[in-house]
Amino acid sequence: MELDFLLNRTTKATPAPITIVWDWNGTLRNDLDDHVAALNATLPGLGGEPISVETYQALHRMPIRDFYTDVLGRQLGDEEWHAADTAFLSELARRPVRLQQGARQLMMGLRARGVRQSLLSLAPHERLVGEVESVGITGLLERVDGRPGPSVPSKAPAMIAHLQALGPGVDPSRTLVIGDSVDDAVAAHAVGAVPVLHSTGLHGATRLATAGVPLVETIQDAVATGIAIITSRQLAAA
- In this prediction the pTM is 0.89
pLDDT value at residue 113: 96
Q: Specify the DSSP element, H or E, that contains 118.
A: strand 116-124
CA pair distance 172, 219, nearest whole angstrom? 20
The DSSP line for 182-238 is: HHHHHHHHHHTPEEEEESSSSS-HHHHGGG-S-EESSHHHHHHHHHHHHHHHHHHH-
From first to last of the 238 residues of the chain, give the pLDDT tens digit: 455 544 554 444 454 899 999 999 999 999 999 999 999 999 999 999 999 999 999 998 878 899 999 999 999 999 999 999 999 989 988 999 999 999 999 999 999 999 999 999 999 899 999 999 999 999 999 999 999 887 778 899 999 999 999 999 999 999 999 999 999 999 999 999 999 999 999 999 999 999 999 999 999 999 999 999 999 988 887 7
Domains of the chain: 2-31+98-237 (3.40.50.1000), 32-93 (1.10.150)
> What would you report as the CA-atom Rg of the chain, rounded to the nearest whole angstrom?
18
